């Protein structure tokens, strides 16, 4: 299976990238943009595989079978550098290290490729560090930047990149990918793709994890139980607790493994206190892990709010009489009852409240519980 086949519902993008991968000298900087779930990082990785593919025939580049394609897709190719921060921002120091790395010549392939999956998490001062390197890159270095929209990247960077715009793929294409790649039952795959609103990663998790489906169902049903301020406060606490528990569950084992690996590499004693020099490195690791945990809670909470938003989207569709398939089709009866008790203007106001909370949670230092409590009270 070629590397392009995972880019479901992105035929124009695949055509653009295949042509560029076969070009003798492709553009030196690219900006991949698209909404969450559109596959920005996957498209960048597939393009990197196409650039480094070992096939002689240009039209076969990105074969998915050669060693270069396999290692790029597995993120282990020596000539491809992946940057995906798990903290709030990409720091200046990380950007400087990246610029230094980009100066290296390719070790085995035709190009050295740098993929920055979170270009939108670079503050202006960090972006300025990269600017010179992107303006005048080494001859065989190609930059691939990913961001939700062009506006999330400084215009000085944006103007020097070739644009690749991805869209949210159709539900049918995502379901087909889950069936073909992961062996998911077709009916379950379609239900998961619809509930995930075509976000491939979320759809895969929903299809494979029954507990994830149950958690999402509780989140989507939250408005049905909002019958007073007390209920709103309880709902907010439950929502934040759920996001925190999800983040802790995903990070706990990884944190322990990182600590053990660091202690082993430092030659730390099995018993007794650590030397001062080792303690400082352990503290540094713990600080990084705390920042990652904060980012994880934010990401999980943002996803929960996106699921909550789908409830009001369905309500609005019913109120406006639009004959479209609902995201939460199994709840149609409850949604219809809820829609009959309000007006479209009220539903739009509630959607604005959810979106405003998502923005506050992801872009400011507001306490998540306070932001969500304010939101649930406004939903009454």
Q: Name the residue ranges covered by the structural domains of the chain.
A: 3-165, 171-208, 225-378
Q: Write down the residue that tokens 């990082």 correspond to.
A: 41
What pLDDT does residue 88 have? 64
Confidence of residue 110 (pLDDT cuts 50, 70, 90): confident
% of the chain surpassing 90 pLDDT:
41
Burial class (CB within 10 angstroms; exposed 0-12, middle 13-18, buried 19+) of 294: middle
Q: Flag whether pLDDT at 283 surpasses 90.
A: no
Distance, CA of 203 to CA of 199 (rounded, Å): 6
Better-scored residue on pLDDT, 229 or 299: 229
pLDDT digits (tens, 9 = 90+) for 194-251: 999 888 888 988 998 888 888 889 899 999 989 899 999 999 998 888 777 767 766 6
CB half-sphere exposure, 219, CA atoms < 13 A: 26
Q: What is the DSSP letter of 106?
A: P
Better-scored residue on pLDDT, 375 or 123: 375
Q: Where are the alpha helices (DSSP H) in the chain?
A: 11-21, 40-52, 67-73, 92-102, 124-135, 155-158, 171-182, 186-195, 200-208, 210-220, 229-266, 276-320, 332-340, 344-363, 368-378
CATH architecture classification, 3-165? 3-Layer(aba) Sandwich (3.40)
Better-scored residue on pLDDT, 183 or 283: 183
Residue 305: CB partners within 8 Å, gap ≥ 6? 354, 357, 358, 361
Closest CA to 96 of 65, 132, 130: 130
Computed on alpha carbons and rounded to an integer, the radius of gyration of the chain in Å comes to 23
Q: Flag whether pLDDT at 373 surpasses 80.
A: yes
Residue 233 Cα to chain centre, angstroms = 29
Distance, CA of 325 to CA of 119 (rounded, Å): 34
**Strands of the 162-165 sheet, one edge to the other:** 80-83, 112-116, 141-147, 29-33, 162-165
Q: Flag whether pLDDT at 168 surpasses 80.
A: yes
CA angle 26, 65, 117 (to 5 degrees): 50
Confidence of residue 132 (pLDDT cuts 50, 70, 90): confident
Across 275-303, average pLDDT = 74
Closest CA to 127 of 103, 92, 162: 92
Q: Flag whether pLDDT at 309 surpasses 90.
A: yes
Its pTM stands at 0.75
Q: Flag whether pLDDT at 289 surpasses 90.
A: no
With beta carbons less than 8 A apart as the criterion, state whether 133 and 162 touch: no
What pLDDT does residue 274 have? 73
Q: Write down the residue that tokens 């009454």 correspond to.
A: 380
Residue 255: CB partners within 8 Å, gap ≥ 6? 289
């Amino acid at each position: 299976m070629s590397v392009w086949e995972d880019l479901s519902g992105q035929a124009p993008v695949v055509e653009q990238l295949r042509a560029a991968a076969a070009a003798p000298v492709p553009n030196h900087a690219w900006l991949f943009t698209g909404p969450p779930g559109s596959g920005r990082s996957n498209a960048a990785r597939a393009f990197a595989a196409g650039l480094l593919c070992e096939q002689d025939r240009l039209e076969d580049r990105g074969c998915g079978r050669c060693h270069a394609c396999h290692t790029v897709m597995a993120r282990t190719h020596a000539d491809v550098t992946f940057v995906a921060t798990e903290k709030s921002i990409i720091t200046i120091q990380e950007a400087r290290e990246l610029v230094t790395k980009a100066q290296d010549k390719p070790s085995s392939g035709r190009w050295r490729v740098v993929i920055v999956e979170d270009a939108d998490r670079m503050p202006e001062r960090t972006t300025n560090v990269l600017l010179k390197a992107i303006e005048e890159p080494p001859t065989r270095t190609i930059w691939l930047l990913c961001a939700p929209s062009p506006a999330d990247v400084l215009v000085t960077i944006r103007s020097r990149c070739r644009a690749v715009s991805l869209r949210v793929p159709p539900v049918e294409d995502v379901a087909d990918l889950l069936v073909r790649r992961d062996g998911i039952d077709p009916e379950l795959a379609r239900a998961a793709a619809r509930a995930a609103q075509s976000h491939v990663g979320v759809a895969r998790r929903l299809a494979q994890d029954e507990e994830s489906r149950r958690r999402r169902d509780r989140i989507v049903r939250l408005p049905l139980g909002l019958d007073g301020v007390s209920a709103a406060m309880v709902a907010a606490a439950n929502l934040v607790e759920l996001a925190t528990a999800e983040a802790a569950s995903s990070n706990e084992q990884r944190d322990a493994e990182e600590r053990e690996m660091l202690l082993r590499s430092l030659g730390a004693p099995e018993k007794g206190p650590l030397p001062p020099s080792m303690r400082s490195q352990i503290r540094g690791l713990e600080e990084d892990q705390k920042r990652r945990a904060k980012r994880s809670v934010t990401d999980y909470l943002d996803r929960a709010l996106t699921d909550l938003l789908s409830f009001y989207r369905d309500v609005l569709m019913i109120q406006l009489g639009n004959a479209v398939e609902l995201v939460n089709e199994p709840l149609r009866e409850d949604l219809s009852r809820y829609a009959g008790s309000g007006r479209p203007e009220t539903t739009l106001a509630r959607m604005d409240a959810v979106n405003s909370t998502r923005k506050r949670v992801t872009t400011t230092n507001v306490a998540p519980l306070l932001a969500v409590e304010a939101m649930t009270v406004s939903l009454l």
